[in-house]
Amino acid sequence: MGEIPVLAIKHLAVSYRTRRREVQAVRDVSFEIYEGQNLGLVGESGCGKSTVAYSVVNFLGPNGRVSGGQILFKGQDLRGRPESELRRLRGAEISMVYQEPMSALNPTMRIEDQLAEALIAHRGLSKAEARRECLEALRRVYMPDVEGVMRRYPHQLSGGQQQRVLIAMAMLNSPKLLIMDEPTTALDVTVEAAVLDLVAELKERYHTATLYISHNLGVVARISDQVAVMYAGEVVEYAPTVEIFQRPIHPYTAGLMRCLPDVDAPKGTHQLVPIPGQVPRPDCIPPGCVFAPRCEYRCAECDELRPQLEEVEPGHWVRCLRAAEALPLATPPRRSAEGAPAAETETVLEAQRVKVYYSLPFQTLGGIVGLEKRRYVHAVDDVSLAVRRGRTLGIVGESGCGKSTLARAIVGLEPLREGRLEFLGVDISQPLRKRSLASVRQLQMVFQDPNGVLNPSYCVGDQIAASLRRFKVVRGDDVYGEVVRLLNAVKLNEEYYYRLPRQLSGGEKQRVGIARAIASNPAMVVCDEPVSALDVSVQAAVLTLLQEIQQQYRTTMILISHDLSTVRFFSDDVAVMYLGRIVECGPCEAIYAPPNHPYTAALLAAVPRPDPTLAAKHIRLGGLVPSAVNPPSGCRFHTRCPFKMGAICEQEEPPARDMGRGHVIWCHLPPERLYEIKP
């Protein structure tokens, strides 16, 4: 560890100009990063993490400016330096990797030209030299088929490969400081795992100082040496990673950890403890401790005195008036698993060999007159499943595996191409328009995107009332009372009736979406990624709410999610999907322990766990997800399977192997081998 930190930020303050006034987005942020260190900057959205990063590279946009403090790079203040010098620094010594790989790469340039540009501009290399260095840079990030990749355009690469290109580009000039702003947030969990491996390894080999920004505690636990937790524009806790995960001192840090569902704990054995309230807007910061309004340990002083970041123990900095008191921040006690509803209850929904295809536009004029064969995306291809009353079926898989399409087909938003759906004994294979109003009423949906869930033009109450009126759930003059009752059921009060969606936070919108879905008192609710767009503290609240509603109304649920922890927290049964097929299904506990399908094992291995002492798991998936237009023959997973047996996997459909208790795995591997697969 060198004497001078590569990056030292001291009492940084950043403000943004809005139409009315200047708003302080970041206040009094201080931290240091030494050579070869990785600092993880975590916090929920809107707490100023990215603003800190942008202030280092002087990229705050026309409305923002650094209004106080120092940004010391190798001991020298970056503030007030001329733009030309900053530009040189940004190219040569400070690099940044952005969240959205697709929008960070120029779609009109080949990878080769984009990579070489920085070298030619900043180091004045010749084209041939630059090309040689680029090849080397791509090899360093373990890019397969380097020569081929150089000739391609960004859209011809997968998300993981694009992110590798960006990291390679950032590492080209061997920067002293690498800033990564949520580099894996847009990626699938298996790809994320591989990129995190790469980040960890690059740090070991090149000793680059890294500022790693993430909202995901699990990710930060894997790769950081130090963690700074931000809340509402301030650093509230700053300590070595192991220290902070094992002994968090600030109530916010501890609260965040209690919000995370544990992928290793069975359903019903742990509770999530949501943090009440939400992150304050930058223009209404409370006068005392910023976290006080949401803190369960607040005392009278907390509302008046602004706490300073103080070193409570060597290397462990906390901004809390009661830091010295050793607050009882322990996680809530584990309960023993309570009995889920018995498995032999009636079947609510049964899908038999369901297929949903999307047709692609014709590529030639001949298609219109029938000369070209229609091509289809096989989004859901031959899926059968059954859901029993009062239970939750979790459907997991990476993006593009067809899980959302399946959900939309079940509620009737997508037409089936083949197969049959039976709901409460009634055939509902036809599209929504042709279903009876009674079965539409009984089968409702909770959507993913909080911003698209509510119509921005109407107040919250009217949108819930529309369902009540349509399905004649209550008499006309009782509608208002029933809406208020539903709002209360999702922990919102009567005042929310006349609020407009834009006056609501993401979590509140999602609650209203849930209230709307349960308004018609449905037998079954399909939840399509209900929490994936929400912050952790809000996620916990929404998940807990869904669980309460299920217990109260005995609603049957389908939970679609890419997050295995969420699914485990909430599901009784799980189906794992890959490329339109189910590869493994069974009771939840069976899925999360061997024997596993190789794909399930890879997913489990990839989950980032918020515990820095756990060693990284070893199964990693390479390659690209094949196109669903021409899915691979035989077992669809054979192109990426680390346990592929040979020709049989390519030629024959895998058999259903019954592992007992309703646990089925579709794989050619003999059952004994399935037991040996460890994530």
Interacting residue ranges for other proteins, rule: CB under 8 A: 18-19, 46, 63, 278-281, 284, 408, 411-413, 432, 437, 440-441, 443-445, 447-449, 452-458, 463, 466-467, 470-471, 495, 498-500, 502-505, 508, 513, 516
The angle at the Cα of 30, spanning 32 to 252, to the nearest 5 degrees, equals 110
Q: Where are the alpha helices (DSSP H) in 402-505?
A: 403-411, 437-442, 450-453, 460-470, 479-489
Place of tokens 């294979």: 429
* 484 within 8 A of 474, measured Cβ to Cβ: no
At 475, list the tokens.
């008499």
Q: How far is the CB of 309 from other proteins (least distance, A)?
A: 25
* Amino acid at site 284: C
Q: How far is the CB of 351 from other proteins (least distance, A)?
A: 18
* 619 within 8 A of 607, measured Cβ to Cβ: no
- Measured from the CB atom, the residue of 395 and 410 that comes closer to other proteins is 410
- Measured from the CB atom, the residue of 476 and 646 that comes closer to other proteins is 476
Q: How far is the CB of 108 from other proteins (least distance, A)?
A: 24
Compute the distance between CA of residue 161 and CA of residue 202 in angstroms, rounded to an integer.
16
- Measured from the CB atom, the residue of 453 and 543 that comes closer to other proteins is 453
Q: How far is the CB of 19 from other proteins (least distance, A)?
A: 6
- Measured from the CB atom, the residue of 13 and 432 that comes closer to other proteins is 432
- Measured from the CB atom, the residue of 342 and 426 that comes closer to other proteins is 426
Q: How far is the CB of 20 from other proteins (least distance, A)?
A: 9
Compute the distance between CA of residue 55 and CA of residue 49 in angstroms, rounded to an integer.
10
* 3-state DSSP percent of the chain in helix, strand and coil, to 5: 35, 20, 45
Place of tokens 């920004």: 213
Q: How far is the CB of 582 from other proteins (least distance, A)?
A: 24
* 465 within 8 A of 459, measured Cβ to Cβ: no
Q: How far is the CB of 614 from other proteins (least distance, A)?
A: 35
* 553 within 8 A of 523, measured Cβ to Cβ: no
- Measured from the CB atom, the residue of 453 and 545 that comes closer to other proteins is 453
The distance of Cα 496 from the centroid of its chain, to the nearest Å, equals 28
- Measured from the CB atom, the residue of 219 and 560 that comes closer to other proteins is 560
* 352 within 8 A of 409, measured Cβ to Cβ: no
* 591 within 8 A of 394, measured Cβ to Cβ: no
- Measured from the CB atom, the residue of 194 and 523 that comes closer to other proteins is 523
Q: How far is the CB of 399 from other proteins (least distance, A)?
A: 17
Q: How far is the CB of 411 from other proteins (least distance, A)?
A: 6
- Angstrom CA distances, 278 to 142, 251, 285, 352, 362, stand at 41, 14, 12, 43, 49
* Amino acid at site 44: E
433 DSSP assignment: G
- Measured from the CB atom, the residue of 174 and 359 that comes closer to other proteins is 359
CB count, 10 Å around CB of 264? Answer: 14
Compute the distance between CA of residue 506 and CA of residue 514 in angstroms, rounded to an integer.
12
- Measured from the CB atom, the residue of 191 and 492 that comes closer to other proteins is 492
Q: How far is the CB of 25 from other proteins (least distance, A)?
A: 14
The three-state secondary structure class of 501 is helix
333 DSSP assignment: P
- Measured from the CB atom, the residue of 164 and 509 that comes closer to other proteins is 509
Q: How far is the CB of 356 from other proteins (least distance, A)?
A: 15
* 330 within 8 A of 312, measured Cβ to Cβ: no
Q: How far is the CB of 272 from other proteins (least distance, A)?
A: 21
Compute the distance between CA of residue 118 and CA of residue 107 in angstroms, rounded to an integer.
17
- Measured from the CB atom, the residue of 151 and 470 that comes closer to other proteins is 470
Burial label, 298 (beta-carbon count in 10 A; 0-12, 13-18, 19+): middle
At 548, list the tokens.
């309460």
Q: Angle, nearest 10°, between helix axes 127-140 and 159-171? A: 120
